[in-house]
């Protein structure tokens, strides 16, 4: 059997399944809320991301008489985070209960930006319960819970969103690994004690340089570097352990890392040198002169194993040795 596919392929699919889609009637869609999201994990620019998503949504509903009257746009939120834990998406869910909210439909700029995995199946019933329509560009119209092709496509979009996120993470990690191996580049985060982060000129990526990004590299901070050399020298004598070295530094009134750089150690107490602080310096391979990356890895764990819908939280764990990369040359 062959079917001529028009400019609206899902209309042809509906015909194959024998589903009759109800057309929009009356004066148009009316007032809608716009929902969008962008993440910083793949270096998205929030203003640009919001602009094209809002533009897509506006072009989608404007010819149908739709007017966007309120916006909900999450910034820096991974798509894997459930709606209830995204500030703006959570605010939208709360607004569903308000009879005076001023809109009776929600439009998104791109479905894969808003739903991940099985999230749509958990969210759509809430919209239906409060009589709020969902307009999704990938559907070519509003979601119809009675239309099996719509349910199938939204399930596919959730899977595509999950796959896209995994590909982004893999590409970013591969690029960062290559930068460390080939160039010894510092990949961000707090500078190790004994180093400081300095400006090294425009970013080597032309696009990022045009946007004003700068290359940041590690440079030796001589006052604290002298302390690092002292720690290694005392340890290599074989006569002093972690605590003995820490006690000597405290007796000499040498500020500990959190006291020297409180701006980058707000999570620590500036209460002097500890044996664990000395041990962390001795075990940090960066002091060999080589650049290392990936010693710690992000792991997503269920927030509540009894409630999978609550989503995951990120925890950092020491990575397996085969996941750690080292620069080819020392610096």
Mean per-residue pLDDT, 176-205: 86
Has residue 92 been placed in a domain?
Answer: yes
**Percent of the chain topping pLDDT 70:** 84
Q: Clarify whether residues 119 and 225 are in a common domain.
A: no
Closest by Cα among 284, 272, 293 to 195: 284
Total tally of structural domains belonging to the chain: 2
Has residue 156 been placed in a domain?
Answer: yes
Has residue 179 been placed in a domain?
Answer: no
The CATH code of the domain that includes 45 is: 3.40.50.1390
- Buried/exposed 197-212: b ≥16 CB within 10 Å, e otherwise: beeeeebeeeeeeeee
Q: Clarify whether residues 28 and 156 are in a common domain.
A: yes
Q: Which residue has the tokens 């707090």?
A: 190
pLDDT digits (tens, 9 = 90+) for 52-94: 999 999 999 999 999 999 999 999 888 888 899 899 999 999 9
Chain centre to alpha carbon of residue 113: 12
Rounded Cα–Cα distance for residues 84 and 123 (Å):
10
Last residue of a domain, one of 107, 126, 161: 161
Has residue 253 been placed in a domain?
Answer: yes
pLDDT digits (tens, 9 = 90+) for 261-302: 877 666 666 678 999 999 999 999 999 989 888 888 777 666
Long-range contacts of 96-100 (CB under 8 A, 24+ apart): 96/126, 96/127, 96/130, 96/132, 97/130
Q: Clarify whether residues 102 and 58 are in a common domain.
A: yes
Q: Clarify whether residues 243 and 119 are in a common domain.
A: no
152 phi and psi angles, rounded to 5 deg: -65, -45
Has residue 29 been placed in a domain?
Answer: yes
Mean per-residue pLDDT, 105-119: 89
Q: Clarify whether residues 122 and 223 are in a common domain.
A: no
Tell me the residue range of the domain where 69 lies. Answer: 24-161
Question: Are the C-beta atoms of residues 50 and 14 closer than 8 Å to each other?
Answer: no
Chain centre to alpha carbon of residue 62: 31
Rounded Cα–Cα distance for residues 8 and 87 (Å):
35
Mean per-residue pLDDT, 302-315: 66
Has residue 216 been placed in a domain?
Answer: yes
Q: Clarify whether residues 85 and 192 are in a common domain.
A: no
Has residue 108 been placed in a domain?
Answer: yes
């Amino acid at each position: 059997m062959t079917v001529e596919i028009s400019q609206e392929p899902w209309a042809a699919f509906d015909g194959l399944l024998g589903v009759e889609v109800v057309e929009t009637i009356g004066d148009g869609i009316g007032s809608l809320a716009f929902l969008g999201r962008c993440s910083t994990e793949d270096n998205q620019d929030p203003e640009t991301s919001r602009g094209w998503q809002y533009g897509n949504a506006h072009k989608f509903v404007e010819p149908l008489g739709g007017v966007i009257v309120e916006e909900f746009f999450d910034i820096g939120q991974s798509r894997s985070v459930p709606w209830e834990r995204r500030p703006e998406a959570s605010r939208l869910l709360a607004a569903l209960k308000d009879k005076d909210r001023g809109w009776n439909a929600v439009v998104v700029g791109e479905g894969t930006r808003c739903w991940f995995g099985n999230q749509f199946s958990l969210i759509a019933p809430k919209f239906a319960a409060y009589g709020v329509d969902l307009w999704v560009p990938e559907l070519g119209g509003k979601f119809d819970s009675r239309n099996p092709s719509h349910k199938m496509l939204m399930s596919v979009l959730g899977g595509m969103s999950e796959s896209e996120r995994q590909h982004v993470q893999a590409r970013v990690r591969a690029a960062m690994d290559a930068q460390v191996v080939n160039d010894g580049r510092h990949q961000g985060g707090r500078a190790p004690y004994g180093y400081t982060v300095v400006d090294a000129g425009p970013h080597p990526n032309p696009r990022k340089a045009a946007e004003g990004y700068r290359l940041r590299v590690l440079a030796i901070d001589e006052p604290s570097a002298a302390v690092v050399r002292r720690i290694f020298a005392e340890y290599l004598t074989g006569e002093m352990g972690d605590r003995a070295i820490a006690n000597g530094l405290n007796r000499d009134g040498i500020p500990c890392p959190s006291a020297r750089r409180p701006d980058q150690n707000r999570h620590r107490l500036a209460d002097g040198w500890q044996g664990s602080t000395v041990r962390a310096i001795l075990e940090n391979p960066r002091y060999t002169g080589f650049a290392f990356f990936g010693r710690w890895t992000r792991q997503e764990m269920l927030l509540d194993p009894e409630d999978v819908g609550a989503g995951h939280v990120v925890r950092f764990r020491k990575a397996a040795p085969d996941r750690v990369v080292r620069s080819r040359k020392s610096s």
